[in-house]
Amino acid sequence: MAQDELDLPRVLARVERGIAARLGTALKTAGSTVEEWRVISLLSDGAGHTMTEIAEFALLPAPTLTKVVDRLVSAGLVFRRVDDADRRRVLAFLSEHGRETLGRLTTAIEDEWRRVQDAVGREELALLQVLLTRMSARLA
């Protein structure tokens, strides 16, 4: 196997870290983190989600997610409620204040994402997304 083939995981990690750093900086300026943004963006569908669903979506281990959600609850952005269909489950929902905050954070993300697109190229990013989505599905 060629060395450049074995280097793919490192290159993917560098790209992910670079994009996450840029988005993280934009979100920090807006008063949030990438992890918090991922959580509230999922909750914006209004359906209510279990901690397991949120952890999977936000790519966070359960203990870290609990801390993130606790911060969001303390800030009044998220609230928890017992699931009416299964009283053993607790669902998280986005509050009205959370919806307002999501709008502000989405603007910050979109502005930074345009800068990433300008730096990398829209076509290249679209192709990369298609390829990575295909790879992710095949490796799952």
Q: Which long-range contacts (CB under 8 A, 24 or more apart) does 72-80 make?
A: 72/36, 72/39, 72/40, 72/98, 77/36, 77/40, 77/101, 78/39, 78/40, 78/43
Q: Give the per-residue pLDDT at 27.
A: 97
| Alpha-carbon Rg for the chain in angstroms | 17
Q: What is the pTM of this model?
A: 0.86
Confidence class for position 1, pLDDT limits 50, 70, 90: low
- Hey, what CATH class is 35-139 in? mainly alpha
Residue 3 has pLDDT above 90, yes or no: no
Q: Give the per-residue pLDDT at 140.
A: 85
Per the DSSP assignment, residues forming a β-bridge with 79 are 93
> Over the stretch 26-53, which tens digit does the pLDDT of each residue have?
999 999 999 999 999 999 999 999 999 9
For the chain, the domains span 35-139
Taking the C-alpha atoms of residue 129 and residue 131, their distance in angstroms, rounded to an integer, is 5
Is the CA virtual torsion 74, 75, 76, 81 positive or negative? negative
